[in-house]
Amino acid sequence: MPDLTQLIDGPGWVPYVIVLVWTFFEGETIVILAGVAAQDGTPHLWLLILCAFCGSLCGDQLAFFLGRFKGKGFVARRPRLQEKAAKVYRILEKHQTLLIIGFRFLYGLRNITPFAIGMTEVRTSRFLILNITGAAVWAVTFSFTGYLLGHALSGMVAAYGEVAILSLLLFIVIAYWIIRLTYGYERRRRQKQLAPPPAAS
C-alpha cells in the first residue's frame, strides 16, 4: 500500500492512469486514496473524479454486455453466482432504477449486479443512461470522501502526532475486518441452518 500511495501522489499522468485502470476492475479504495492524495492539489481532484467515472462506467458496461451475451451459460455452471444473481433479480423487480444507479454501493452484490442485469430484459439504452448517472454519483462521492479525509488527517496529525493517528487508523482497520469476518461467519451459519436436510437414500 505505501508504494501504491506514492504512485497516486506522484507527478504527471501516472495517478490518473492508475485510477482509470483500477476502477475499471473494482473498488472504491483506490478512489478514496486518490482523494486523500489530491487534498494538496496534486493530483488534481476533478481529473481524478473524471478518471474514476470513466473507469467504473466502462468496466460495468462491459460486465453488462458480457452478461447479455454470455451470462446464462456462465452462471448456470456456478451455483454461488446463481444465488447472488437471484438476489439481484429480487431487488430489480421492486427497485429497478435505484438498483442500477446505486449497485456500486451494495457490498457483496457490487460486481455481480451489472452482469446479472445483462441477463434480464432491461434495455441497453436504459442501463447505459442509469449507469452513467450511478458512475458519476459514485466517483464524486468517494473522491470527495478521500479529499475531506485527507484534510481531516492533516489537521489531526498536526494536533496529535503521526504515531497516534496511525495507531487509530490501524485500530479501525482491524475492527472493520473483525466485524466483516464475524458477519460472514454468521451468514454462512444461518445458511447451513436453513438448508434442507439431505434426502434419505
- Please, what is the end-to-end C-alpha distance for the chain in angstroms? 53
Contact call for residues 150 and 37 (beta carbons, < 8 A): yes
Q: What is the pLDDT of residue 122?
A: 94
* Cβ count near 32 (within 10 Å): 19
Contact call for residues 28 and 141 (beta carbons, < 8 A): no
Q: What is the pLDDT of residue 1?
A: 42
**Could you tell me the pTM of the whole model?**
0.73
Looking at residue 111, what DSSP letter applies? T
Q: How deeply is 54 buried, as exposed, middle or buried, from its count of CB atoms within 10 A (0-12, 13-18, 19+)?
A: middle
- Cell numbers at residue 182, please? 464475524
CA 153, CA 180: separation in Å to the nearest integer? 24
Contacts of 42 (CB under 8 A, 6+ apart): 9, 11
Domain segments of the chain as ranges: 2-147, 161-193
Q: What is the pLDDT of residue 112?
A: 92
Q: Which element (helix H / strand E) includes 46? A: helix 45-76
Q: What is the pLDDT of residue 124?
A: 95
From first to last of the 201 residues of the chain, give the pLDDT tens digit: 445 555 555 557 788 888 999 999 877 888 888 888 787 777 788 999 999 999 999 999 999 999 999 888 888 888 888 888 999 999 999 999 999 999 999 888 888 999 999 999 999 999 999 999 999 999 999 999 888 887 776 666 666 666 766 677 777 778 877 887 787 666 666 666 655 554 444
